[in-house]
Each structure stands twice: as C-alpha cells, then as structure tokens.
Amino acid sequence: MAVYTEVTDDDLSAFLARYDAGSLVGYKGIAEGVENTNYLVQTSKARFILTLYEKRVAPEDLPFFLGLMEHVADRGVSCPRPVHARDGTILSELAGRSAALVTFLDGFSVKKPRADHCSKLGRALAQFHLATADFPQQRQNALGETGWRPLFEKFRARADEIVPGLQSLVHDELLLLDAMWPKTLPSGVIHADLFPDNVFFLGDDLSGLIDFYFACNDALAYDVAICLNAWCFEQDYAFNVTKGRALLEGYDSVRKLTPAERSAMPLLTRGAAVRFLLTRSYDWLNLPPNALVKPHNPFDYVRRLRFHQSVRSIAAYGLGEAA
C-alpha cells in the first residue's frame, strides 16, 4: 500500500483549514502508486486527493508538476486541478512532507484495456501534447536516455539475480541505444508514465489523466512508445497489434506523427522498455525491509524488450502496411 507517511485527524483538519475546502469528514489511504503517499479526503464540501511527496520527488520539481496540471486543465485536458489555499499557494506542508490538495477525478482505471480504450488513450495523449505546447516551464527527464547507464551501474553486479543473463542483455542494449538514440525528434512536455492505472474511464468514455509526477521535457513520440509498452501487451507478453493500431491511429487523428517519428518508433519502444526494466530492477533489488508497497516484477519488461528487438518498422505496431 502506498502510504509511507501517516497523517492524524488533527493534523489533517489543521491542513484543510488553510483552504476553502470544507471541514474534514473522513479520509483513507490509497493503495495505488509507488512514489508518494496519497489519501482520499472527504470534506463537508467535496472529495479531494491529498498527496504527500516522499523523498524520491525533488521539492524543486513540485512547481513544475502542479503548474503543469493547472495549465493543461485550463486548456481542456481532463485531470485533477491543484486547489489553491486561501493565501493563493498550491503547495504546503503536512506531517513533515511537502503536500498538495487536488480535485477528485471521477472514474476507474481499466485492468484489461480493450482496443477502444487504447484508441481513446491515444487521442487523449495527443491532446495533452498539444495542450503543453505553450507551457513555459521545463524539466529535464532524469530517467531519459542519458540516465539509463548510471542507473544500470547501481545494480549491474546483481542484475543476474533477477533474470539470468540480464546483465548482458541490458549492457548490449545500452550500447545500441547510446549509438542510435534519435536526438532531433519533435519535443515538448510528456507525461512519461501514462500506464492504465493513470488513466480513468467512466463507462466507455475516458474521464481523465492522473499522476503527472514523472512529467518532463522529451521527444513526444517517446511518450507514445511508453504507452505502446504499457497498454498493448497481453498477459502472455504477446503484443496485441489491434490495440497498437488503435492507440497509434487515435494519436495520429489528433496530432500527426512525423515521418521521422514513425521511423524511430521501433527504437523508441526499445528505449521505453529499457527505462522501465531498469527502474523496476533497481526497485526489486533495493526494497526496504519495512516497505508496504510491492515492487513491479522487472521480468515483464525483459519480454517486452525482446519483442521490440525483432521489430523493424512501425507497421509491426499497427500503423501502416502489415509488417
């Protein structure tokens, strides 16, 4: 369960008194997520999400994250909106942590996405990219291509404890990505973590996007590649080309992928698979003994990476002629 910091009734009531949000009725920890502590808060006026930012989130990045949420919400992207305190601020402190209150977003994440979910996700991602085009702040992608090798070196000696041969697999893949990674694709602010649990649906309609705490500046098509990894593989690790086509065509219907982006997609999907393989591997090997959250199994991304290594064009993901 992703509740690292406990909050008392009295402390939360005092925190809410800084806002015009009503008085505390009740609250409970939210199990989803691995980075921060989240509570669902019910007041006499409405429901809110309270986030306490844990040590892995740099305090200097918080104005970027919260400002981005407000910026895209102003431009029609459905997402939680930071609540301003009476003094106008959107960032405060609670239980020794930086904290923010955001509006509650109705909806549920889907456990087994269908092609129609992928299509709507693709459209929403493209709309998000267009909405961020004039966002003035920037944030480097700390988990981008230049950060992969330093992260790998932190656990390289133990990599084969996860999967035999993992050290060699990642070493060879990083050599290729270092040499071939595209540097001149259209770029802007990306979500960088748009997994199914960060997208809400009401019935068949996409109701909004959540969890912007990996957002950063990078290639827009890299965000698409992350989603292909996160949404289009089945439980047996087979890539579902119908879902891939739906996602890509949904995106392309709002923001056209350039020829360079289409050409780079097989490399971008490999990079996205490596990024999550590395972070999941590090977390798997460095789980604190008293942790309440179960880390994701990195082996899922070994299988994804091996599929991407066989791909030669975006057609294999469903866009264009059959591969």
Which one-letter amino acid corresponds to residue 24? L
Beta strands 92-94 and 47-52, pairing class: unpaired
Query: According to the model, what pLDDT value does residue 292 have?
Result: 55
Instruction: Kindly state the helix (H) or strand (E) to which residue 15 belongs, with its residue range.
Output: helix 9-16
pTM over 0.85: yes
Q: Is 129 exposed, middle or buried (0-12, 13-18, 19+ CB in 10 A)?
A: buried
Q: Is 235 exposed, middle or buried (0-12, 13-18, 19+ CB in 10 A)?
A: exposed
Percent of the chain predicted with pLDDT > 70? 95
Query: According to the model, what pLDDT value does residue 36 have?
Result: 85
Q: Assess whether pLDDT exceeds 50 at residue 1.
A: no
Instruction: Write out pLDDT tens, residues 285-318.
Output: 987 665 556 678 899 999 999 999 999 999 999 9
* pLDDT tier, 218 (very low <50, low <70, confident <90, very high otherwise): very high
Average pLDDT over residues 257-273: 98
Average pLDDT over residues 237-245: 97
Beta strands 92-94 and 97-103, pairing class: antiparallel
DSSP string, 46-91: -EEEEEE--TTS-GGGHHHHHHHHHHHHHTT-----BPPPTTS-S-
Domain range annotation of the chain: 9-103, 115-317
Q: Is 183 exposed, middle or buried (0-12, 13-18, 19+ CB in 10 A)?
A: exposed
Average pLDDT over residues 30-36: 72
* pLDDT tier, 118 (very low <50, low <70, confident <90, very high otherwise): very high
Query: According to the model, what pLDDT value does residue 323 have?
Result: 37
Q: Assess whether pLDDT exceeds 80 at residue 321.
A: no
Q: State in words which class domain 9-103 has.
A: alpha beta
Question: What is the Cα–Cα distance from 109 to 3, expressed in whole angstroms?
Answer: 19
Question: What is the Cα–Cα distance from 284 to 35, expressed in whole angstroms?
Answer: 14
Which one-letter amino acid corresponds to residue 37? T
Average pLDDT over residues 34-42: 87
Q: Which fold has domain 115-317?
A: Aminoglycoside 3'-phosphotransferase; Chain: A, domain 2 (3.90.1200)
Average pLDDT over residues 251-263: 97
Instruction: Write out pLDDT tens, residues 160-189.
Output: 999 999 999 999 999 999 999 999 999 999
Query: According to the model, what pLDDT value does residue 55 have?
Result: 73
Q: Assess whether pLDDT exceeds 50 at residue 322.
A: no
* pLDDT tier, 2 (very low <50, low <70, confident <90, very high otherwise): low
Query: According to the model, what pLDDT value does residue 288 have?
Result: 65
Per-residue CA distances from 48 to 51, 82, 223, 312 (Å) = 10, 10, 28, 46
Average pLDDT over residues 26-52: 89
Query: According to the model, what pLDDT value does residue 147 have?
Result: 96
